[in-house]
Amino acid sequence: MTRLILATRNAGKITELRAILADAGVTHELVGADAYPEIPDVKETGVTFAENALLKAHALAKATGLPAVADDSGLCVDVLGGAPGIFSARWSGRHGDDQANLELLLAQLLDIDTPHRGAHFACAAALALPDGTERVVEGRLRGTLRRSPHGTNGFGYDPILQPEGDSRTCAELTPDEKNAISHRGKAFRALVPVVKELLG
């Protein structure tokens, strides 16, 4: 059984990918970056989600000698030309300040009418092997941006994105409902055949 490492210290992400792999009959052992605390976090210097995911996956594969999976994701707003995009987590200038990021984005879209508030969450998931082999897949969740936050589940921009075909925001969905349609869930599921192809 091959050990597979996921470039995250987020327990929820590890649980999600473990479940997706198990459902597909993939039995490789999945661990997070916490299993290798001596390896520093990788700077995300890419200009696309795919580039950032590959940077992290290659760095981990090289450092551990194991196949590595990494993902990068964010919110892409149509009228902002795809922004915040890769800057989603630091849109307000402070990395990871969800409230400030949300407030700034809502202020920027204040005068935009509902038909023009289209947006999507995007996620790129990469698998890199120690020999340099790489694959990237992507997942998207399209929706419309509400004018104020609704719901307390989720994080980031979840309280303002209302998925297509639903009357609730991502933050009003149960974790299972969100995982079933989420951009990251779609990307991770698209990665399963790649893992099977490259790792058996």
Instruction: Identify the CA nearest to 117 among candidates 73, 167, 71, 160.
Output: 160
User: Rg for the chain (alpha carbons), in Å?
Assistant: 17
Residue with tokens 């998925």: 163
SS3 70: strand
128: left (phi over 0), alpha (psi -120 to 50) or beta: beta
Its sign, for the CA torsion 157, 162, 168, 174, is negative
Residue type at 184? R
The answer to whether 60 touches 7, Cβ cutoff 8 Å, is: yes
Strands 68-77 and 3-6: parallel
Chain centroid to CA 121: how far? 8
The answer to whether 149 touches 159, Cβ cutoff 8 Å, is: yes
Active-site positions read 72
